[in-house]
Amino acid sequence: MCRLVIYTNTGNSNRVLVREEKEYYQRLVECHKPKILNLELGEAIVVRNVGGFVAAYGEEGTCPSCHVAIEYAVKELQIEHILVIGHTDSDAIQSLMKVHDEEKSHFSEHFKNWLNLCERTCEKVKQVHSSKSIAEQCTLCEKECIDLSMQNLLTYPFVKEAVSANKISIHAGLYDMHNCTFDHGSLDYSDTESEKYH
């Protein structure tokens, strides 16, 4: 069985791995192995991008690689599962949560456009959870952006059709890079009409 896995780019994990504590490094190496998903080689098409975002159908702009992978996996390979996976301490989410626009002024045009996919979600998290710390807000935003990506998958007509026919299940996960834990869940299609943060 082949699965489509949309996974966030773990570029910031390099900063974590340069720590000098050998034991900590070894633990991270062990828990970053793909066994967490119980997949064998060739069982997944993996799409990695900044933030693990899935743009709504028609909103991917000049970077449609995620759209192409979703369409190919659903139509040609007839996959049964789509997984959207994010991780804690996401640079993309931290960039979205920056308070002042001046802090975002150095971002490239493409990066800004990509972040716009989840900007409203993060703004809502900031408003609703203003009493929480920035770290807590980032964690909430990471989860909400994964939820948004799951909802966005249903804007692809061929995905929505396959999900409504019970041919595909949509799942999500959040990988905790510090504790090496993986929190996961599935989209309840009957519940998708009530959108939380967008």
Q: What is the rounded (10 degree) CA torsion for 86, 90, 93, 99?
A: 160
Q: What is the pLDDT of residue 159?
A: 95
pLDDT computed for residue 156 by the predictor:
94
Domains identified in the chain and CATH numbers: 3-189 (3.40.1050.10)
Residue 108 to residue 73: CA distance in whole angstroms: 30
Question: How far are the Cα atoms of 68, 69, 150, 171 from residue 4, in angstroms, in the given order?
Answer: 12, 8, 13, 10
Query: Rounded to two decimals, what is the model's pTM?
Result: 0.75
Compute the distance between CA of residue 179 and CA of residue 122 in angstroms, rounded to an integer. Answer: 24
For 136-168, write each residue's pLDDT tens digit. 999 899 999 999 999 999 999 999 999 999 999
Q: What letters, b where the CB count within 10 A reaches 16 and e where it falls short, cover 119-142?
A: eebbebbbeeeeeeeeeebbbbbb
Q: pLDDT tens across 52-75, in order?
A: 888 889 887 766 788 888 999 899
**pLDDT at res. 198:** 34
Report the pLDDT value the prediction gives residue 194, as an integer from 0 to 100: 39
- What local confidence, expressed as pLDDT, does residue 45 receive? 78
Q: Which residues of the chain have pLDDT under 70?
A: 1-42, 62-63, 99-105, 190-198
